[in-house]
Amino acid sequence: DYAKTSAATVWRNMKNGFVWDNDYFSTNQFAHPYHGNLYFNAARTSGLGFLASCPYALGGSLMWELAGETDPPALNDIVSTSIGGAAIGEVFRTSSLLLDDRDRGFSRFLRELGAGILNPVRAFNRIVTGQAWRIRSDHALYHDFMRLPVDLSLSFGVRYLADGGAMT
C-alpha cells in the first residue's frame, strides 16, 4: 500500500512537509545509503565527478520520498540516502581495481562479476554499452596503479603491555 502513489499523494507529501521516521536501524543506516549509492553511481559511471554526482543521490532520495511512496517524506531518510549514498558510492569505486579489458574467458567473467557485485550500476552500464565483453589493449585498466598505488598490509601477533606485572 505504501507504493500506491497518485498525484494526490505526491501533492500531500509536498504540502505537509517532512517528518522523522522510526524505521529499523538496518533500513535507515544500510538500505537507504545503499539505494543512495545507486543514484550516486549512476552519475559517477556516466563520467561525472564526486561533487557533480552528489546531487543525484539527493535528487533520487527526494524523488522517492515525495513521489515514490504514500508515507510522509522523512528528513532522516533524505540525509541517510544522500550522504550515505555518496560515501558508499565512493567505496564501490573499488570495482575499478578488478576491471581489465585485456582479460578474456572465465577470468574476465569473474572480474566483471566481482566488479558488478561491488558496483551494480556500473555493471549494468557496461553490459548495456557492450564494454563488459569488449577486448581492448589501450586504456584497458580502470585504475592507474602508478599514480595511486593500492596496498594492503596485514599483521598478526600478540601484544603484551605490562608495568610491574600489571596490565595497563
CA-nearest of 136, 9, 142 to 69 is 9
Q: How far is the CA of 24 from the CAs of 12, 17, 29, 38, 125, in angstroms?
A: 24, 22, 9, 21, 32
Dihedral sign, Cα of residue 37, residue 40, residue 46, residue 50:
negative
Query: Taking the model in full, what pTM does it have?
Result: 0.74
Looking at the chain, the whole-number percentage of residues with pLDDT higher than 90 is 60
The whole-angstrom separation of Cα 64 and Cα 162 is: 56
Q: Pick the most confident of 42-46, 63-67, 151-155.
A: 63-67
**What pLDDT, on a 0 to 100 scale, did the predictor assign at position 155?**
83
- As a whole number, mean pLDDT of residues 90-119 equals 90
